[in-house]
Structure 1
């Protein structure tokens, strides 16, 4: 006879396995973006290409992430999660191999597009699978737990990429990404559950109607925009902080890597705190608190940049804004998906697309003031954080905030 302790241990092992699988799938995007960034100058030199051409490899990847999620999200609603995910992982592995062997920059851009479709499958289907398996507080707790795994990706990826370049070329970075994709493909093939039997048609007209219904759902739009706009603030930090902290404040590349990593730890810690508070405080209250923290961090960043305050104050402000992601993302994901069980793939796709599209729109704003100032980056961060809070307050329907004791 199985004891209660044995059943509990089995349940914990199963949940840990699920966290690692879905966390690995969620980390696809950050790993595939951040790990190869230190290699961009070498890639341009080796391929005899202009810097702007090589930077298109990043643009192609982000565009593929958006397009891939729009297609694969509703496809997984119709066909189940496993088959589109397996196809996506195969595409990721093939694309990574093509990246590693690309003889010129334009083939590398095309290969990154193929690779991004597979990464999109991991991101969108991981989020939809959580909605399949959980609901309510349990879903928010699981999203918070995922932050502990996926939140490590932006911390470790640049460090891993930089270290790989000490003993291999930029092609070696894509070899490592190929191995990561192949490992996840094997794990998904053997261990990934098919969580739901509820299926929606994959006809184009039905898919477009589903997207239209989601876009007109005021509550969903409020949560999705809050998530996407705060993510845009994070994008502004990612794209501008290296120039601001090194060029304006004089940090060395090594010191900047430490700052980047510490801020990443802030996301993980905030996600852990969110998981502990869920069930004690309503998700909407936690989301509101996270958005307020983001606004406070963004406005503080802008004030420190305008006044050229000491670096320590700027670092604290950046830490607060970046950490707010750990409170906002689990709650927006859970609240936005809560009422869309049958179309979780499509809803997950819209959430992801808004994050990357709005984030990409924020990136060019960072460089408007030239290389000698951090004000454009800080203003972009503060502006998008304020817009995220406004989207939540204006669009997301109010609900009673419940505090349990």
Structure 2
């Protein structure tokens, strides 16, 4: 829980909530169901016997909206082991799918998912011109792929070969393809949901010398140690926490107040400073001896060693650079929660939707709800599940906008 409302540790033995963020996502789903019930309750209170319940398809389509700002970005930086575990697990799930041979029944299902994805991206509304263009590109690229799918699959034995053959597509389109592929093999993918927890300890083993740490930096942190942080653009921003709301903010270094309270999110700069300091030391000196004389490097040294030996490691981004968009950090984490309808409102906050299209409490089925679509209510249908007298008017643009 936020600010220590409840620790995660006591949930270790809970089958339902023993994986990270399951409790939070369950709460979001419960809020969605409560909100839908609340709408029906208020309508009944106001309209009495004339009240009409929300159509089940509309209920199913409605999700929980969320606006996320800079507060999420530091999480990815301050919890590198969790991020590594999430992304590594996801890559393992993808790999379990890609090794499968392409079979005709899977191709048919894949084609139907592509069709849903095309319609889904067509229905997304965003005021962000760049994101709107990215969505339009997805629709164009996937429409071409879907229309010629059988020809494009011919000659490829595995899905890995198929995906590799389409690495020229935009990243957005490639990620949609990967999402569709993972849906084809739940028996292979679902088990990975039990592997998202991580040990967050950052440590340095005993007996290691300076050269050992230099080797890690040179092999895994080239993205950091090659940056010239004397260049103004490479240290343009500073991150701090606001006094009133205790929320992360960004300020322009040298122009805005607050840099005296700068947050330690500059992992790239810290790694570079560590590298420069280590180069001036005896390569065979024990790291422990070095840290006794220069304790300010202890934290970054533990991080570099730990993350340098993990599969994914640190996010390779200089968050101080003038043209680094925090939006990428926000989207990275939100994607792990199954967020849809990505709608950036600026480069610092974004709107998304959770559980849109998900089954309701009274529905136990295996229908696919990846890429939720606007309900097709163009024909007269029952507004309530137990009454045939109340009908929904033909859907028009007004209804669509309200939905």
Is TM-score (shorter-chain normalized) higher than 0.5?
A: no
Judging by fraction of residues, say which structure has more strand: 2
Give TM-score, length-normalised by structure 1: 0.24
What is the TM-score when the length of structure 2 is the normalising length?
Answer: 0.24
Relative to total residues, which structure has the larger helix share, 1 or 2? 1
